[in-house]
Amino acid sequence: MSQSSEQDAIYSQPREAITDFVFDESVVKVFQDMIGRSVPGYSTLLSMIPVLVRQNVQQNSRCYDLGCSLGAATLAMRHSINQSGVNIIAVDNSSAMTEKCREYIEKDSSNVPVEILCDDINNIKIEQASIVVMNFTLQFFDKEKRADVIKKIFSGLNKGGALLLSEKIEFENKDDQQWITDLHHEFKKANGYSDLEISQKRTALEDVLIPETVKQHKERLKKAGFEKSIVWFQCFNFISILAIK
């Protein structure tokens, strides 16, 4: 089922002061357009979720979509679950997001049960999980809280269960960081964003979206107990890691 979206023009006009980015109603209206034009590889990544689901989903288990936004990953999971007794729990702490997400889920044809929770991921329980998707969400957590959420996911996963963790990353080497950042900006320009939009959005996200290196992510996963993790996808400074319990 396709999700409709207005074109993102939130940062197109000069602003006197740039406040921190929030996932409010104005973002919800343009979200699909915004994420597609800002995150290189986003649609390819989503299109691989069914492959991951079919390999890892277990009978009588739960699948979680943490930071579900409008439910793109939830819908991708919902249509590829090939085991009985599976339900999906989709979580986001933006009520504007969960309201719109609920509309999309209600209109969708699959009958796999989906529970949508408007809550902070830090508050929810994770139990009997065979799949946990965290698609570009951990990057918005306070750095000090990231280890706890990864530990909670590990302990809530069944043996053989999978975590799909997608993140914007930074590079250890400064030159590489600049090189790839320039390519990311070029990607945004190719998608119609002006230099002003790119720079104002960057300022709005500066203290909100804090990327880490692949090494930091892999070490945190290992510490939490994930013996196996692999970067299975990368497009410029956006990656996705698959970790198996």
Paired with 239 in beta bridges are 167, 234
The reply on whether position 69 binds ligand GEK by CB under 6 A is yes
Which residue's CB is nearer to ligand GEK, number 85 or number 120? 120
How many beta carbons lie within 10 A of that of residue 201, not counting itself? 19
Phi, psi of 13 (to 5 degrees): -105, 145
Which stretch, 4-12, 64-72, 82-90, 180-188, contacts ligand GEK (CB under 6 A)?
A: 64-72
121 binds ligand GEK (CB under 6 A): yes
Structural Rg of the chain based on CA atoms: 18
Exposed, middle or buried, 221 (CB in 10 Å: 0-12/13-18/19+)?
buried
Which residues face 118 on adjacent strands?
Answer: 92
Cα 80 from Cα 57, distance rounded (Å): 9
State the residue number with the nearest CB to ligand GEK. Answer: 67
Question: Does 156 interact with ligand GEK (rule: CB under 6 A)?
Answer: no
Q: Which stretch binds ligand GEK (CB under 6 A): 1-9, 56-64, 129-137, 217-225?
A: 129-137
> 72 or 224: whose CB is closer to ligand GEK?
72
How far apart are the C-alpha atoms of 177 and 187, rounded to whole Å?
A: 15
Q: Does 58 bind ligand GEK (CB under 6 A)?
A: no
Q: Which stretch binds ligand GEK (CB under 6 A): 8-16, 134-142, 190-198, 231-239?
A: 134-142
Among residues 120 and 160, whose Cβ is nearest to ligand GEK?
120
| Chosen residue from 135, 200, 229, 237 binding ligand GEK by CB under 6 A | 135
- Hey, how many other C-beta atoms are within 10 angstroms of the C-beta on 13? 9
CB of 120 to ligand GEK, least distance (A): 4
Looking at residue 211, its amino acid is P
Beginning with the edge strand found earlier in the chain, give each strand of the sheet holding 114-118 in spatial order: 114-118, 87-92, 62-66, 129-135, 157-168, 238-244, 228-235
Residue numbers at the binding site for ligand GEK (CB under 6 A): 23, 35, 67-69, 72-73, 91-94, 97, 120-122, 135-137, 140-141
